[in-house]
Structure 1
Amino acid sequence: MYRARDYVENERWLADLDAAGDRLGLESAARSRAVDLFLSTVPDEERSKQASMAAALYVGALIEGDRRSQGAVADAVGVSRLSVQQNWKDLIEEAGLRKPSW
């Protein structure tokens, strides 16, 4: 879980996450899940936050059934597809969720 302070300290990233959600046309449940995932696992290093945000969007959409491709999420966030691919499974595990079996 995260603290209210985490929300304030990461407002810029959350605005970027919301803008990427707009570009992807994500439903509010997927966006909300992505925010929770990002804030619960936000990295300390500034340079890692964009990749973490992309993974959170991908996983949030996946969990809420509003699935988008890794490439689409990467394009919306401005990272490589490889960044999403390398981070989403760790994010699921860190959040205590189970990976899909497909």
Structure 2
Amino acid sequence: MYRASDEVDNEAWLADLERACDRLDLPSETRSRAADLFLSTVPDGDRSKQPALAAALYVATLATGERRSQGDVADAVGVSRLSVQQRWKSLMESAGLEPPSW
């Protein structure tokens, strides 16, 4: 869970998230889920926020059935695919979601 002030503190990052969602043509449910995941687990350091944002977006695409590849999400956010790959599963589990078994 996150505080309302987290939204204000991370306004620029949430704007980046919206731009990435536009690039991926994602619906509002996926956008909202990604923002919730990001704000619930936002790291302290700015350097870690962009990869965390990408992982949150990838997990949101899986959770809402709007699957996009790790590479597509990474490109939309501006990080490496490895950044997404290293973070998505632990984020999904910490959110109480079941990772896919493929």
- TM beyond 0.5: yes
Q: Secondary structure at the match of 1:18?
A: helix
**Structure 1 residues 38-63: Cα deviation after superposition (integer angstroms, max 9, x where no partner):** 00010111100000000011010110
State the match for 2:27 in structure 1: 27
Question: What is the letter of the counterpart of residue 39 of structure 1?
Answer: L
TM-score by length of 2: 0.97
* Unaligned stretches of 5+ residues in structure 2: none
Q: Distance in 1 between matches of 2:63 and 2:97?
A: 9
State the match for 1:6 in structure 2: 6
- Which piece of structure 1 moves more, 89-98 or 74-83? 89-98
Q: Distance in 2 between matches of 1:101 and 1:35?
A: 24
Count of residue correspondences:
102
State the match for 1:58 in structure 2: 58
Question: What is the letter of the counterpart of residue 69 of structure 1?
Answer: S
State the match for 1:74 in structure 2: 74
Runs of at least 4 residues off by over 3 Å = none
Give me the identity figure in percent: 72
* Unaligned stretches of 5+ residues in structure 1: none
CA RMSD of aligned residues (A): 0.7
Q: Distance in 2 between matches of 1:97 and 1:69?
A: 18
Question: What is the letter of the counterpart of residue 18 of structure 1?
Answer: E
Question: What is the letter of the counterpart of residue 42 of structure 1?
Answer: V
CA positional deviation for 1:67? 0.6
TM-score by length of 1: 0.97
**Alignment check: 8 A CA contact 1:17 1:77 kept:** yes
Question: What is the letter of the counterpart of residue 59 of structure 2?
Answer: V
